[in-house]
Structure 1
């Protein structure tokens, strides 16, 4: 099977999975808002910055990102699933950022356009993690930032899904650090706790 076909199948799988859950997504995880706000605060973006929320889903990061970058900044939310973006609009979060239905594997942005990328829950759904992270690096200026976030840690998430952590978990630090390094990023901090997973990285020159 060709890479193109695999990519199309992956896109369809993601769209079907999240499309079926979009309408009830925020109700299913009603307490995540403060965790998003705290993560954006630790991310360190500031007034005037140009930020992408990659795989933005229902847009839960858009409001704290807008608060961080202010009226002079740019917030762009990109997601592959149109129904997730519709849920974001229904929640009024399009007031905080421009929403775009697009694939993070092929972003319609010029090289070095952004100061930062925030990605909540994204990495587990990347079909080709190294090349996909490299695409995120492409659109960020040298020295720009990346945040890989989840509102609960790896162990808590595994327990939620009834499975155990394994050494090949992509988000384990020994796996993630070289993956980022090979994709144009340098990990600057790693936190995997019960109530959050937050990895910060800088765009290498």
Structure 2
């Protein structure tokens, strides 16, 4: 497990300070994605792999003052940036491993995960852990500010059916972890997969 964490920490720690400036225009897309979670005032939601907590104000806006917003990330430098940016005002920031969340079964109404899936060491086990903490009928949103083709082009690689975010692969992965893929959008200006927790 330590090796999995080393990779994540090595990737994100040096990027934390400039993270918010890397995707300066993705705020509206992120807010729109949060709106599709179907959250109601008083609900409980986790921003999984929250990074600098950019989604937390939008999540707080939909669950209201009586709702619960948690932001969990493995990288201390990201959480420090989130605190510096005031994101802790929108919810509780936790240093936590997505593979072992410090939450009881079924306590959440939804999980929002921006850019998370490609960084999971054990995608099926990790998405099953997300399912564990969400009530039946709750929602998982997998978001990225740009789609698969645009991201591949940016990284100088070819889009592949082996990609975890390819629709058939993602549908099977989520089904094995207790989720049903409900909607799938993969366009240049954003990626969003919405899944429902099965009973």
Question: Counterpart of 2:3?
Answer: 9
Distance 1:42 1:65 in 2: 11
Over aligned residues, Cα RMSD in angstroms?
A: 0.7
Question: Counterpart of 2:187?
Answer: 193
Q: Map of 1:1-205 to 2, 5 A cutoff?
A: 7-205=1-199
- Spell out structure 1 runs of 4+ moving beyond 4 A: none
Deviates further, 146-155 or 7-16: 7-16
Distance 2:149 2:173 in 1: 20
Distance 1:193 1:74 in 2: 31
What are the ranges of 5 or more consecutive residues in structure 2 without an aligned counterpart? none
- CA apart distance, 1:158: 0.7
Q: Give a deviation string over 1:82-108, Cα, whole Å, max 9, x none.
A: 000100111111100100001000001
| TM-score of the superposed pair, with normalisation by structure 2 | 0.98
- CA apart distance, 1:111: 0.5
Q: For residue 36 of structure 2, give the secondary structure of its aligned residue in structure 1.
A: helix
CA contact (8 A) 2:37 2:110 kept: no
Q: Give a deviation string over 1:14-60, Cα, whole Å, max 9, x none.
A: 01210110001111221111111111112221211100000000111
| TM-score of the superposed pair, with normalisation by structure 1 | 0.96
Q: For residue 43 of structure 1, give the secondary structure of its aligned residue in structure 2.
A: coil
What are the ranges of 5 or more consecutive residues in structure 1 without an aligned counterpart? 1-6
- Count of residue pairs the alignment pairs up: 199
